[in-house]
């Protein structure tokens, strides 16, 4: 049963739409006549119904509405939404604005999530990446948009390993809210498990079948058929621990013992363990705490960007490709659609591309597109981005993407001069692609 609890804020009953290059304005029913119709413009060799991956220049709300109305980019339902919006911390950060009046921030988040909702697949999931500043309010907003029962989990990502000694606490983590409109129980049946870590397999008894992992040979609860004595190689006679049973019946245990599938630790005196070879290991259910050894850090992501843009001041807190690789792996399969409404330096699109997913990424700041998003995605297609998950994904380059611009419904659009620079860079890129194909 729904609790009926909701968050209130100023102008909540109005929609927050983009105004000009960076601002927002609320628009109620009485102001709709002042809003211009959306205008989508293709750049380069854009074909409206090509079904390509899309880099959209504009606001996320405008982009989704325009793409849905004028292209087939969303004709295949969205399987994953990952957004890393401004955290609203009032911090001094490079490359984007991180200060909004709170009520505007809440409406901005709600309206952009709501516009995605009709385009989600039945087994979609939405991941919203934040820190402590707004995450508690964001969860209430997501409850309103998707329903409380859509909440799946809160993932804690360790973003740094260094210690900040000037703070009351050294903040080393971000929070990622995970929602699935179908609910966690149903979504669990379609999400992917983490790959089993074969690097952890060992061959502690020189088994000719190769390295193996081990698991306890016990099961919870009392089962009469699984209550028997086991004699270890050292001569100890063991019974199942209190409140538990052996993993299998005695006849099955003897078969496993004969097949050398039982291992006794502590030089043959410990409790029996079941030997599991690589082909017998199923994937791993994801933990809710993700450490740096598996999903990288902000600093590692920053070094990756610096390897691509050595002459520029890059983002302060970019997300590592390893983090997005895990999210995309859990949530999608090759060929399915990934959407990011706050594209930034293009990490989500870059990883989705390397993992052979379709993608739509939206970035409002034209300077960010020119300096980072566009050249990074071009490097991915050309196979010259050697960092991030390139090696793990065995990425050699390939694929393509289209670029579109969506003018805001209020205020002035992006200047033709800046868009012409995007056109020039696309033209050079397309010429290189044509030359590579001919060669």
pLDDT tens-place string over residues 225-242? 999 999 999 999 999 999
What's the whole-number mean pLDDT along residues 307-328? 92
In the predicted model, is pLDDT for residue 437 greater than 70? Answer: no
Q: Residue 91's pLDDT is what?
A: 52
CA 412 distance to own-chain centroid: 33
Superfamily name with CATH number, domain 15-193+287-438: Vaccinia Virus protein VP39 (3.40.50.150)
Angle between helices 416-438 and 374-382 (to 10 degrees): 0
Q: Residue 369's pLDDT is what?
A: 96
Which of the four pLDDT bands, split at 50, 70 and 90, describes residue 1?
very low
Mean of all residue pLDDT scores within the chain: 91
Cα–Cα dist 380/353, whole Å: 8
**Where are the domains positioned within the chain?**
15-193+287-438, 198-280
Contact of 103 with 11, CB cutoff 8 Å? yes
Cα–Cα dist 362/74, whole Å: 13
pLDDT digits (tens, 9 = 90+) for 170-193: 999 999 999 999 999 999 999 999
Whole-prediction pTM:
0.82
Q: Residue 97's pLDDT is what?
A: 57
Q: Residue 227's pLDDT is what?
A: 96
pLDDT digits (tens, 9 = 90+) for 38-52: 999 999 888 877 678
Give every strand in the sheet of 289-290, ordered side by side.
39-43, 401-407, 53-57, 358-363, 337-340, 78-83, 120-130, 173-179, 151-158, 289-290
Which of the four pLDDT bands, split at 50, 70 and 90, describes residue 95?
very low
Which of the four pLDDT bands, split at 50, 70 and 90, describes residue 361?
very high
Tokens of 161: 């390993």
What's the whole-number mean pLDDT along residues 24-43? 81
Q: Residue 231's pLDDT is what?
A: 96
Q: Residue 31's pLDDT is what?
A: 58
Select from 360, 399, 405 the least CA-distant residue to 378.
399
pLDDT digits (tens, 9 = 90+) for 113-169: 999 999 999 999 999 999 999 999 999 999 999 999 999 999 999 999 999 899 899
In the predicted model, is pLDDT for residue 424 greater than 60? Answer: yes
What is the percent of the chain where pLDDT is above 70? 93
In the predicted model, is pLDDT for residue 93 greater than 50? Answer: no
């Amino acid at each position: 049963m729904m609790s009926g609890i909701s968050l209130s804020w100023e102008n909540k009953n109005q929609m927050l739409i983009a105004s000009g290059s960076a601002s927002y304005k609320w628009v109620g029913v009485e102001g709709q006549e002042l809003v211009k119709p959306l205008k989508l413009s293709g750049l380069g060799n854009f074909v409206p119904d090509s079904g390509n991956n899309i880099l959209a220049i504009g606001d996320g709300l405008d982009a989704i509405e325009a793409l849905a109305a004028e292209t087939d980019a969303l004709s295949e339902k969205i399987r994953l939404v990952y957004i890393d919006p401004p955290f609203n911390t009032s911090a001094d950060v490079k490359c984007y604005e991180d200060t909004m009046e709170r009520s505007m921030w809440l409406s901005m988040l709600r309206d952009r999530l709501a516009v995605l909702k009709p385009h989600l697949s039945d087994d979609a999931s939405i991941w919203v990446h934040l820190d402590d500043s707004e995450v508690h309010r964001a969860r209430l907003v997501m409850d309103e948009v998707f329903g409380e029962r859509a909440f799946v989990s809160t993932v804690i990502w360790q973003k740094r390993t260094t210690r900040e000694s000037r703070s009351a606490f050294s903040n080393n983590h971000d929070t990622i809210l995970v929602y699935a409109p179908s609910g966690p129980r149903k979504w669990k049946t379609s999400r992917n498990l983490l790959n089993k870590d074969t690097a952890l397999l060992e061959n502690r008894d020189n088994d000719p079948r190769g390295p193996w992992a081990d698991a306890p040979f016990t099961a919870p609860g009392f089962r009469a058929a699984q209550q028997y004595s086991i004699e270890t190689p050292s001569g100890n006679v063991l019974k199942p621990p209190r409140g538990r049973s052996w993993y299998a019946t005695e006849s099955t245990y003897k078969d496993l013992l004969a097949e050398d599938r039982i291992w006794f630790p502590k030089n043959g005196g410990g409790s029996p363990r079941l030997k599991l070879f690589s082909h017998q290991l199923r994937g791993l259910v994801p933990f809710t705490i993700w450490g740096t050894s598996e999903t990288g850090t902000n600093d590692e992501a920053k070094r990756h960007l610096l390897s691509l843009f050595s002459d520029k001041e890059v983002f302060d807190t970019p997300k590592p490709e390893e983090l997005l690789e895990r999210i995309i792996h859990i949530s999608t399969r090759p060929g399915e659609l990934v959407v990011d409404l706050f594209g930034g330096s293009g990490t989500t699109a870059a990883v989705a591309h390397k993992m052979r997913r379709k993608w739509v990424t939206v970035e409002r700041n034209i300077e960010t597109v020119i300096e980072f998003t566009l050249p990074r995605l071009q490097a991915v297609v050309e196979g010259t981005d050697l960092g991030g998950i390139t090696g793990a994904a065995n990425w050699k380059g390939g694929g393509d993407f289209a670029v579109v611009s969506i003018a805001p419904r209020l205020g002035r659009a992006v200047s033709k001069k800046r868009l012409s620079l995007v056109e020039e860079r696309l033209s050079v890129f397309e010429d290189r692609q044509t030359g590579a194909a001919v060669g």
